[in-house]
């Protein structure tokens, strides 16, 4: 059964750093683009970043560009998000999600989501 499990969330002070992980199982991880999506308390979904199936291509939304770095290790079926210079408005549940690749491009929708990990940025 395909599954994504996030970890690494927690309480961090403004300006601090955190590294999130997402472990995949039950499917061929290297066949998928992977993304991070967050949801602030009581708010909607915000897509943050994606990485291509072999990790060559990455993309970020403006709000996290230069502060967050997405990476993956296909040998360990794992996705990562390094978050630096965190701000209070980064407080959210962070989800990893998969998007199948075909002919070098994603399908542009997420067919599997993890349960999420909560990041709280507060002094």
Partner 1 sequence: QSVLTQPPSVSGAPGQRVTISCTGSNSNIGAGYDVHWYQQLPGTSPKLLIFGNTNRPSGVPDRFSGSKSGTSASLAITGLQAEDEADYYCQSFDSSRDGYVFGSGTKVTVL
30 three-state secondary structure: helix
The residue from 34, 35, 53, 90 that contacts partner 1 (CB under 8 A) is 35
For the bound state, the minimum distance from the C-beta of residue 25 to partner 1, rounded and expressed in Å, comes to 16
50 binds partner 1 (CB under 8 A): yes
117 counts as binding partner 1 under rule CB under 8 A: no
Pairing of strands 92-102, 18-25: unpaired
| DSSP characters over 32-100 | EEEEEEEE-TT--EEEEEEE-TTS--EEE-TTTTTTEEEEEEGGGTEEEEEE-S--GGG-EEEEEEEEE
Of 41, 44, 66, 104, which one interacts with partner 1 (CB under 8 A)? 44
Instruction: Choose, by CB under 8 A, the member of 19, 76, 87, 115 that binds partner 1.
Output: 115
Which residues of this chain interact with partner 1, rule CB under 8 A? 35, 37, 44-47, 50, 59, 61, 95, 107-116
């Amino acid at each position: 059964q395909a599954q994504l499990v996030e970890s690494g969330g927690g309480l961090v002070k403004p300006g601090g750093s955190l590294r999130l992980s997402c472990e995949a199982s039950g499917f061929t991880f290297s066949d998928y683009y992977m993304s991070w999506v967050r949801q602030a308390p009581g708010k909607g979904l915000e897509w943050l970043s994606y990485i291509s199936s072999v990790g060559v291509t990455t993309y970020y939304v403006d709000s996290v560009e230069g502060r967050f770095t997405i990476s993956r290790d296909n040998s360990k079926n794992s996705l990562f998000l390094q978050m630096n210079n965190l701000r209070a408005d980064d407080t959210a549940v962070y989800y990893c999600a998969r998007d199948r690749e075909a002919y070098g491009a994603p399908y542009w929708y997420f067919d599997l989501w993890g349960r999420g990990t909560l990041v709280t940025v507060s002094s």
